[in-house]
Amino acid sequence: MSFDVPDDLRYLDSHEWVRHEDGTATIGISEFAQDELGDVVFVELPGEDDELAAGEDFGVVESIKAVSDIYAPVSGTVVGVNDALVDEPELINEDPYGEGWLLEVALTDEGELDDLLSADEYRDQIA
Amino acid sequence: MSLRSPPLADAHEAAGARFTDFGGWEMPVEFDSIRTEHAAVRDSAGKFDVSHMGEIVVSGPDATRLLQRLTTNDVTDLDPGEAHYSAITREDGVMLDDTVVYRLPAAVEGDYLFIPNAGHDEQMADRWREHTDEWGFDATVDNRTTEYGLIALQGPETPDLLSNETDADIPAMGRFEIVAAGVAGADCLVATTGYTGEAGYEILCPWDEVESVWNALDCQPCGLGARDTLRLEMGFLLSGQDFDPEAEPRNPYEAGIGFVVDLDTEFVGRDALEGVDVEGVDEKLVGLSLIDRGIPRAGYTVTTPDGEELGTVTSGTMSPTLGDPIALAYIPTDYTEPGTKLRVVVRDEPKKARTRTTPFLDR
């Protein structure tokens, strides 16, 4: 099976993605990750103004069968939380790069983005 | 130790199933999604390959006496073609396994069949044989686990579905019965038993013919993931998790299946269980619903609202049918009254929960 890995995103080897626009990063989990987890039924996320540190876990995604920590690809301050996931955690399965996003973060250091995997590198990892 | 594979392993692989190690067997855990498979069984029909379950046939003049002394229920209640749920206990009353005992129909070779849980077949066959010798009984114990495949066909549409594939009078069967029947050209045993709370069948087929039977039963293939959420909604026990002679030693009263213990019969463990009834146990398995957001999982701690530790979750999930987080846990009987407010500790966070009776789902 082949999974969608959009070219314009950066990735962590633990399957989180980042979309960068003007100093703000949107974070989610990849299509591969949601498929591995199966039906997502619960998401635990930080609140607005909370700080993320690159490489540290900041929340949890739970499917019926598994609990998975999610890791911050970048450091920054949370400026947006996808509240729709409270009632519809299945959005992560249905649209992992769109409506299933997790957080928006104001980046502390845009240079951290360079440490992340490119789409090609991430494709190699999950192949 | 290498993993055992079910006869349908290649077919599952081709269908895109994910696999897991369960009881020493590599079994399909998910075909499409647990939610899809779960809903198919509740709403229409699903089929499970449960060939990892054991099959042991007991025959001979003393077969009834042997079963009577090694299982807790009264085997003499069974007429040919009938079955019941039972427990297998050791001298101290602790459950080694739970099982369904079938008295085979007169036309079928062998007297009794019982189904130990995955990975327990050899241990149980040895136990039966040792006791046969010890007690000087005239009985044979035949472990046929790798001679039979087992398909569980479950869901409200399965009576019609199976009727189309067999000449046996399927709608005439009551619960916990077993008949010999040709299914898709294979000589099978069809039993009205299951692990989901729905109408359904467990079909024992010759190992080499499982695939033709499986393919003839045209409905959603389901893995062990959905099997677990379906059984948990009914509060059915999972051997090795909700009880286990080493990790979770429990007697049938603690586990909530005192109804399979007949103290008027002489079985191994009877004396230890005599006088222990539902009132006589210190701890009992209870259903829990979470009120706060969160999902209770096996191993999570259960406390009072003040934080006093009471016990541990043995099984928990998000119920796909109810959309609520549900769990089973052993806690002191003082706290088992339905509606008692407790806490389940989820990642260091106490979440509000309430005890309740099982099944979680009315069926």
pLDDT 10s digits, B147-193: 999 999 999 999 999 999 998 999 999 999 999 999 999 999 999 99
Q: Which amino acid is at B200?
A: G
For the ranges A76-85, B251-260, B270-279, B305-314, which has the lowest average pLDDT? B270-279
Closest CA of chain A from B165, distance in Å = 33
Provide the 8-state DSSP code for B74: -
How far apart (Å, rounded) are the C-alpha atoms in residues B89 and B245? 9
How far apart (Å, rounded) are the C-alpha atoms in residues B48 and B220? 9
How far apart (Å, rounded) are the C-alpha atoms in residues B343 and B290? 8
How far apart (Å, rounded) are the C-alpha atoms in residues B180 and B105? 7
Do residues B58 and B250 lie in contact, with contact meaning Cβ atoms separated by under 8 Å?
no
Chain A CA closest to residue B19: A36
Task: Judge: A38–B229 Cβ closer than 8 Å, yes or no.
Answer: no
Task: Judge: B229–A62 Cβ closer than 8 Å, yes or no.
Answer: no
Residues of chain B in contact with residue A39, where contact means CB-CB under 8 angstroms, are 33-35, 320
Kindly tell me if the per-residue pLDDT of B1 is higher than 90.
Answer: no
Mean pLDDT of B302-320: 98
How far apart (Å, rounded) are the C-alpha atoms in residues A94 and B109? 52
Regarding beta strands A24-29 and A16-21, do their DSSP bridges make them parallel or antiparallel, or are they unpaired? antiparallel
Chain A CA closest to residue B225: A65
User: How many CB pairs lie under 8 A apart between chains A and B?
Assistant: 36
Closest CA of chain A from B35, distance in Å = 7
Task: Judge: B318–A60 Cβ closer than 8 Å, yes or no.
Answer: no
Place domain B282-356 in its CATH homologous superfamily: Aminomethyltransferase beta-barrel domains (2.40.30.110)
Q: C-alpha distances in angstroms, A109 versus A9, A10, A19, A105, B76? A: 17, 15, 14, 11, 76
* Confidence (pLDDT) at B3: 84
- Which residue bears the tokens 């019965």? B177
Task: Judge: B295–A42 Cβ closer than 8 Å, yes or no.
Answer: yes
* Confidence (pLDDT) at B18: 94
Task: Judge: A65–B30 Cβ closer than 8 Å, yes or no.
Answer: yes
- ipTM value: 0.89
Class of domain A10-109: mainly beta
Task: Judge: A39–B34 Cβ closer than 8 Å, yes or no.
Answer: yes
Average pLDDT over all residues of chain A? 96
Bond before B7 cis per omega within 30 degrees: no
* Confidence (pLDDT) at A2: 84
What architecture does CATH give domain B9-53+146-233? 2-Layer Sandwich (3.30)
Mean pLDDT of B322-350: 97
Q: C-alpha distances in angstroms, A14 versus A30, A69, B275, B276? A: 9, 9, 55, 51
Mean pLDDT of A31-55: 96
Q: Which amino acid is at B303?
A: T
Share of chain B above pLDDT 90, in %: 96
pLDDT confidence bin for B278, thresholds 50/70/90: low
Mean pLDDT of B56-61: 98
Residues of chain A in contact with residue B320, where contact means CB-CB under 8 angstroms, are 39, 64
Kindly tell me if the per-residue pLDDT of B8 is higher than 90.
Answer: yes
Q: Which two tokens stand for residue B56?
A: 């042991």
Of B16, B33, B293, the CB nearest to A38: B33
Question: How do the domains of chain B map onto residue ranges?
Answer: 9-53+146-233, 56-140, 282-356
Straight-line distance from the first to the last Cα atom of chain A, in angstroms, rounded to the nearest whole number: 9
Task: Judge: B35–A39 Cβ closer than 8 Å, yes or no.
Answer: yes
Do residues B195 and B208 lie in contact, with contact meaning Cβ atoms separated by under 8 Å?
no
Does the beta carbon of A23 lie under 8 angstroms from any beta carbon of chain B?
A: no
Place domain B56-140 in its CATH homologous superfamily: Aminomethyltransferase beta-barrel domains (3.30.70.1400)
